[in-house]
Amino acid sequence: MSNVLKEELSRQEEEQVKSNINRIISSYRHVWDIYTELLQNSADAILEKYGNSFEKGIVKLEINTNSRQIVISDNGIGIDEDKISKIIVTGKSLKRENNSGNGEKMHL
């Protein structure tokens, strides 16, 4: 765990962190919605970086059945470490704060 994330978590009350995580989880209707959300985030990050040159974007989906892992990565704008902690700890939406992305959750 990064130092920034450790610092942010240490400032928060345990119940508040649990509440934020539960609120995020409950905002999805189906277990697969989270993967759809991650793919949408990748598409938004690519559009923000490349604009209309979407063909420059790369979204990679890796499924490893042996380790039971699904990895989604992209070559979009990325997220700074301090902002990742803000998302995890407070549950805030960077897209909403920056008025970017489409602001909608995609559902299966």
- pLDDT digit string (tens) for 17-39? 788 778 877 888 888 888 898 89
Has residue 108 got a pLDDT over 50? no
Q: Give the pLDDT band of residue 77 (cuts 50, 70, 90).
A: very high
17 in Cβ contact with 45 (< 8 Å) = no
Q: Which distant-in-sequence residues (6+ apart) come within 8 Å of 108 by Cβ?
A: 30, 32, 33, 36
3-state secondary structure at position 78: coil
61 in Cβ contact with 72 (< 8 Å) = yes
Best-predicted range by mean pLDDT (30-39, 40-49, 94-103): 40-49
CA distance 35 to 107: 10
Q: What per-residue confidence (pLDDT) applies to 85?
A: 72
Has residue 82 got a pLDDT over 80? no
To 10 degrees, what angle do helices 81-90 and 14-26 make? 90
Q: Using alpha carbons only, give the angle 50, 53, 58 rounded to the nearest 5 degrees.
A: 70
Q: What per-residue confidence (pLDDT) applies to 102?
A: 52
Q: Give the pLDDT band of residue 71 (cuts 50, 70, 90).
A: very high
Q: What per-residue confidence (pLDDT) applies to 96?
A: 63
Alpha helices in 51-103 (DSSP H): 81-90, 94-98
CA distance 103 to 108: 16
